Amino acid sequence: MTDRTTAKRVAGEAAVEAIDDESVVGLGSGSTAATAITALGERVAAGLAVRGVPTSWQARQRAREAGIPLTDLDADRVDIAIDGADQVAPTALLKGGGGAHVREKIVDSDAERFLVVVDDSKVVDAIDQPVPLAVLPEARRPVADAIAALGGAAETRMATRRDGPVLTDDGAIVVDAAFGVIDDPAALATELSAIPGVVGHGLFVDAADAVYVGSADGSVAVCDR
Ligand SMILES: O=C(CO)[C@H](O)[C@H](O)COP(=O)(O)O
């Protein structure tokens, strides 16, 4: 097991301890959130009564395998969501490495409490990785032009196992928009949301209630936000 794997697992397991009986739980996407789904499945097997709301096809499959009963946002409000992130800065998260950021934002923002689980390599002073966008396919070129007008550079994320772009669970293409170091994530988030054809973006501003940061030595730092 790699150091990074241990760090992710302990963060996921620690966050799952915060889930109360009878909760509706947002189930995040990605490898770190997967450790929380596994740990939650173990608590369900031990008698915890919860219902999960998956943030992606992947999360749904993992939850089924873990034995977690599922519900949806029509039927239930989310009490607590646990999700990963690609970067964690003081006032914002970057998400969408797996292209699930639109559904993740819907579920995570519906939650009464949103817990982020990361290994310690994800904590940064400022977000500097490209921002994933979910874009309607017809809007690819106009969105790229709008990103350029904001001083960024847009690159369509291509699939590795087939010819064509990466598609989200909802059929949007994923465009990664590079801006270098993002000094004002709130302002950029507003600008990205206003671009026609952008279904959603991976900047989550002031969204987390707590961040669980796992380390390779098995320790977890919990940072309330
Ligand atoms: O936002 C996400 C998917 O869209 C993931 O939560 C994010 O990419 C982190 O993934 P991992 O825990 O595998 O590093």
List Cα–Cα distances, 14 to 8, 10, 87, 210, in angstroms: 10, 6, 19, 12
Ligand 1 neighbour 97 (Cβ under 6 A): yes
Residue 188: give its domain's CATH number: 3.30.70.260
Residue 41 domain-assigned?
yes
Is the same domain home to 165 and 85? no
User: pLDDT for 190-222, tens place per residue?
Assistant: 999 999 999 999 999 999 999 999 999 999 999
Candidate of 9, 13, 29 to mutate for ligand 1, largest count of ligand atoms within 8 Å of Cβ:
29
CB of residue 100 inside a 6 A radius of ligand 1: yes
DSSP three-state, residue 22: coil
Q: What is the pLDDT of residues 1-29, one digit of tens each?
A: 678 999 999 999 999 999 999 999 999 99
Domain for residue 225, yes or no? Answer: no
What pLDDT digit, counting tens, does each position of 149-175 carry?
A: 999 999 999 999 889 999 999 999 999
Predicted TM-score (pTM) of this structure = 0.96
Question: Domain total for the chain?
Answer: 2
Q: What is the ipTM of this complex?
A: 0.98
Ligand 1 mean position, distance from CA 34 (Å): 10
Question: Is there an atom of ligand 1 within 6 Å of 32 CB?
Answer: yes
86 is in an annotated binding site: yes
Q: Identify whether the C-beta of residue 184 lies closer than 8 Å to the C-beta of residue 91.
A: no
Residues 52 and 159 in one domain: no
- Report pLDDT digits (tens) over 126-152: 999 999 999 999 999 999 999 999 999
Residue with tokens 């914002």: 92
* Residue 82 scores a pLDDT above 70: yes
On whether both 99 and 50 belong to a single domain, the answer is: yes
12 in a labelled binding site? no
Q: Is the pLDDT assigned to residue 225 strictly greater than 90?
A: no
* pLDDT 10s digits, 36-64: 999 999 999 999 999 999 999 999 999 99
Report the nearest-CA residue for atom 10 of ligand 1: 30
CB 118 within 8 A of CB 84: yes
Domain span at 143 = 131-202
- Whether 221 maps to a domain, the answer reads no
What is the CA(100)–ligand 1 centre distance, in A?
8
pLDDT surpassing 70 at residue 35: yes
